[in-house]
Amino acid sequence: MELDYGVMSKIKYCPFVISSVLSTSATNIKIFKYQAVTIKRETEEGVLVKGLQQDKDFDILERPLVVKAGEYFITKGLDTSEALISRAYTPVLRDEELKKGTFTVIVSLIENGKMSQFLEKLIPGDIVFWRGPYREFKYDQNSFKTLLLFAGGTGIVPLYNIAKSITENDKEETRVSLFCSFKTVDHVILRDQINRLMDYWNFKFKIFISLQSESTDFKIKYNEPILFKRIDESVINEELNLQENGEFFAVVSGPEVFNTAIESYLLQCGMQSNNIFIFRYLLLLFSLTLFLVLH
């Protein structure tokens, strides 16, 4: 028997209407907001395959969406040859949205990417299908003295969710150190939200800008720790030396090249592989799709 995830299901795709599509200062990053619905006349296949832009007859479904930090959703779409494709995305956890069956995803559009080409064509009012949530990383309260989070690009979203869930828990004693890497200042995702986490005693962060010089004209917030360099072995070694008791765990989330580099630096600095977790959505998505096909 499937657990109750509200308006979402792990075993079947559920319809959501796009309520808004927002552009950001980085041209390749868009923010999609979805609302749960029930379709009244058209079938799931009809809405998706025919790509109907009009006459979608649905009712808004304001029921809670149950999802936790470390979990993600899967959506499906059509590529340019009208073949079905799927992709995993982590929603930004906002309680005020989730209780109404609404969620937000931040998407980095990749040039010539199959899912990116599909998403670029979507507008408010279109129906998109999602299933989940699926858990890739499970964190138990006070599991570690320190949690080291390393994010690259949109990989910040699952790590922000984890950091937020820890800092907002009064019973938590875990310290969180977040290191996030972006191409430019304009590419920084969830910037305001991350800065607000600094109000908590057990959170600190640094933003690393890899493709922009410090002399470039931009605005830095008060006390905002922005460094114009890549996260390298020296950065990680310095942080590990600050951890006196050695009870720490590292979580890495980003593009494959970023994940591989950070994992290598961590190992070179003496961390054990069993104290490192890397989000690998693509491998999980392939395994899950294969399971559903075989069953």
The reported pLDDT for the residue numbered 294 is 36
Residue 34 is assigned to a ligand binding site: no
Q: What is the CATH number of the domain that holds 262?
A: 3.40.50.80
The reported pLDDT for the residue numbered 47 is 57
pLDDT in tens, 146-194: 999 999 999 999 999 999 999 999 999 999 999 999 998 888 999 999 9
Query: Domain check: are 104 and 152 in the same one?
Result: no
Query: Domain check: are 130 and 163 in the same one?
Result: no
Query: Does residue 290 have a pLDDT over 50?
Result: no
Domain boundary among 84, 100, 135: 135
pLDDT-derived band at 219, boundaries 50, 70, 90: low
Query: Does residue 1 have a pLDDT over 50?
Result: no
Query: Domain check: are 169 and 262 in the same one?
Result: yes
Query: Does residue 68 have a pLDDT over 60?
Result: yes
Query: Domain check: are 160 and 275 in the same one?
Result: yes
Query: Domain check: are 128 and 162 in the same one?
Result: no
Query: Domain check: are 166 and 56 in the same one?
Result: no
Residue 154 CB coordination number (10 Å): 21
- Tell me the range of 56-60, 114-118, 241-245 where mean pLDDT is highest: 114-118
Query: Domain check: are 112 and 163 in the same one?
Result: no
Residues 6+ apart with CB under 8 A from 178: 149, 151, 159, 160, 163, 194, 203, 204, 205, 206
- Tell me the range of 95-104, 135-144, 205-214 where mean pLDDT is highest: 95-104
Query: Domain check: are 24 and 96 in the same one?
Result: yes
Q: Which domain holds residue 170?
A: 146-279
Q: Is residue 73 part of a domain?
A: yes
Query: Domain check: are 117 and 191 in the same one?
Result: no
Q: What is the CATH number of the domain that holds 34?
A: 2.40.30.10
End-to-end Cα distance, the chain: 16
Query: Domain check: are 124 and 179 in the same one?
Result: no
Residue 191 is assigned to a ligand binding site: no
DSSP 3-state of 202: coil
pLDDT-derived band at 43, boundaries 50, 70, 90: low
Domain boundary among 135, 162, 190: 135
The reported pLDDT for the residue numbered 150 is 98
Residue 106 is assigned to a ligand binding site: yes
Residue 221 is assigned to a ligand binding site: no
